[in-house]
């Protein structure tokens, strides 16, 4: 039951799916929430993959319409919470101020020009990759699209526990305080199950490419978040999810051109 409540906490915090009842926010249930981050990603990926399949197979709509529906649905499903982190982190990063100044900017509710420009670039790139993928759609596309939010949420959990908080407040610090060194023991199990499924479906090479890309992004961000922001915050974790997903969409786009053609 604690696992289910932890998963529901994720739905309340990170999606627009209505969970209209109070959930316990103690250490045990927040730790379960961290442990079910990848399951949240699977749910999100399942919604997007299912929607893509329904549009392609059951409607007369064009590839452009299908890509727009997936792109927009990803924003609506998360309520833009990770995009908000991307915008705030971008404003802070491009201020070129010291660490204290950057943390102060991230707490400012106002949005600066760099935040606006960076989110335009991010969303444009994501739409481009999704559209190109839809135009070269294959049966394997649906499982690979499922893997993208799965891996990005796994990376969010990894960064949460492997980087010290930049400040002792906010959503990132709240989840971090509930964790222990054994919190992520379940993540390798998730990976093995997903890898086994991809092997069964003869997609082990494609999934391995996405996984290696996610690992590279994780190692890059683990170093840079400390250098740029002095540690992790809820905003930088959200920005990390967005960066990971757009890089994975790019990887998937390249796979459709050079490995799945």
* pLDDT value at residue 253: 97
Structural domain tally of the chain? 1
Per-residue pLDDT 10s for the chain (261 aa) are 899 999 999 999 999 999 988 899 999 999 999 999 999 999 999 999 999 999 999 999 999 999 999 999 999 999 999 999 999 999 999 988 888 899 899 888 888 899 999 999 999 999 999 999 999 999 999 999 999 999 999 999 999 999 999 888 777 888 999 888 899 999 999 999 999 999 999 999 999 999 999 999 999 999 999 999 999 999 999 999 999 999 999 999 999 999 886
* pLDDT value at residue 261: 63
Domain span at 234:
2-258
pTM, two decimal places: 0.96
* pLDDT value at residue 169: 78
3-state secondary structure string across 71-97: HHHHHHHHCCHHHHHHHHHHHHHCCCC
| Cβ burial, residue 192 (10 Å; 0-12/13-18/19+) | exposed
Q: Three-class SS of residue 165?
A: strand
CA distances in angstroms from 76 to 12, 206, 220, 233, listed in the order given: 14, 28, 28, 23
């Amino acid at each position: 039951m604690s696992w289910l409540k932890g998963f529901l906490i994720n739905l309340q915090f990170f999606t627009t799916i209505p969970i209209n009842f109070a959930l316990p926010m103690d250490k045990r249930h927040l730790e379960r929430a961290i442990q079910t981050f990848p399951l949240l990603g699977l749910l999100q990926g399942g919604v997007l993959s299912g929607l893509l399949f329904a549009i392609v197979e059951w409607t007369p709509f064009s590839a452009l319409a299908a890509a727009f529906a997936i792109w927009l649905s990803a924003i609506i499903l998360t309520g833009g919470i990770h995009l908000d982190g991307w915008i705030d982190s971008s404003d802070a990063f491009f201020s070129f101020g010291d660490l204290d100044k950057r943390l102060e900017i991230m707490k400012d509710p106002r949005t600066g020009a760099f935040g606006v420009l960076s989110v335009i670039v991010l969303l444009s790139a994501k739409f481009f990759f999704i559209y190109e993928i839809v135009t070269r759609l294959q049966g394997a596309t649906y499982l690979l699209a499922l893997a993208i939010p799965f891996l990005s949420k796994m990376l969010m959990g990894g960064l949460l526990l492997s980087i010290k908080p930049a400040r002792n407040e906010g959503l990132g610090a709240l989840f971090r305080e509930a964790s222990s060194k054994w919190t992520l023991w379940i993540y390798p199990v998730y990976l093995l199950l997903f890898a086994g499924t991809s092997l069964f479906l003869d997609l082990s090479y494609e999934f391995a490419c996405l996984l290696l890309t996610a690992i590279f992004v994780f190692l890059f961000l683990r170093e840079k978040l400390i250098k740029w922001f002095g540690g992790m915050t809820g905003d930088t974790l959200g920005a990390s999810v967005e960066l990971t997903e757009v890089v994975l969409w790019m990887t998937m786009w390249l796979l459709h051109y050079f490995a799945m053609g």
